[in-house]
Amino acid sequence: MNTDFINQIGLNHYLILAALLFTMGMAGVLLRRNVIVLLMSIELMLNSVNLTFVAFSKYLGLLDGHIIVFFVMTIAAAEAAVGLALAVTIFKRFREVNIRFFEHLKG
């Protein structure tokens, strides 16, 4: 067992952690049927990307990554607001928030 991998925390550790979180979010989007859980999985993916940005920002010594993280956070909050508003309208009509009701959306 190589103890260097456990003791020396570097950029790769954060990148791999973020990649695993991203694939978890992707699995959630693919497998779950509840719209709200789907939105949560999307938040999970956005968060993992944020983690990647901040890790690169630290190890490359650039602060620009932090700015992108701000932008991503704002977009994520906006996306959650619109997605939940859509879920509310779907729930009003069908009394359920299953993703299959989104197949026949009308304006």
Residues 50-89 interacting with another protein (rule: CB under 8 A):
50-51, 54-55, 57-61, 63-64, 66-67, 69-71, 73-78, 80-82, 84-89
Least Å distance, CB 38 to another protein, is 10
Least Å distance, CB 95 to another protein, is 9
Among 1, 2, 30, 103, binds another protein (CB under 8 A): 30
Backbone angles phi, psi at 62, to 5 degrees: -115, 140
7 binds another protein (CB under 8 A): yes
Q: Which helix (H) or strand (E) holds 67?
A: helix 64-94
Residues 6+ away with beta carbon under 8 Å from 28: 37, 38, 40, 41, 44
49 binds another protein (CB under 8 A): no
Q: What residues pair up with 34 in beta bridges, in sequence order?
A: 98
47 binds another protein (CB under 8 A): yes
